[in-house]
Amino acid sequence: MMIEIDFSSDEAIYIQLTNQIIMGIATSRLQEGDTLPSVRQLADTVGINMHTVNKAYSLLRQEGFVTIDRRRGAVISIDVNKRKALEELKQNLMVALAKGCCKSVSREEVHQLIDEIFDEYDENR
């Protein structure tokens, strides 16, 4: 698993880490049952604090992307609650679309962008 942190970004490091793991799942680079590196191992590899990795893993657990097992550590385990996932997606999209509207992004441009993203995910499955 390749993690790249942009230390100059305004986005918190734990959020970058969380998002990259979610993208790994969406593009099938990470599969159900895969074990993520230990907190210490990932922190050393990426060059970040262990507490930052722990915070990202906790968020992934809360959002239903991993389970934490005492022996195996963080394991990819997708929560199949589609209704909950759709509600979370709706909330995130509302903010993203509001930002786009403020920048005069059209409905057609949004649809095209969504199609491009779905095509990318379909290619990797």
The average pLDDT across 5-33 equals 94
CA–CA dist 62, 80 (Å, integer): 13
Amino acid, single-letter form, for residue 43: A
Tokens standing for 27? 């593009």
What's residue 124's pLDDT?
Answer: 67
Tokens standing for 107? 């409905």
Tokens standing for 40? 């210490």
Tokens standing for 9? 């970004």
The average pLDDT across 23-43 equals 92
Give percent above pLDDT 70 in the chain: 98
Amino acid, single-letter form, for residue 47: G
Residue 1 has pLDDT above 80, yes or no: no
Per residue in 92-106, pLDDT tens? 999 999 999 999 999
Supply the DSSP symbol for 115: H
What is this structure's pTM?
Answer: 0.76
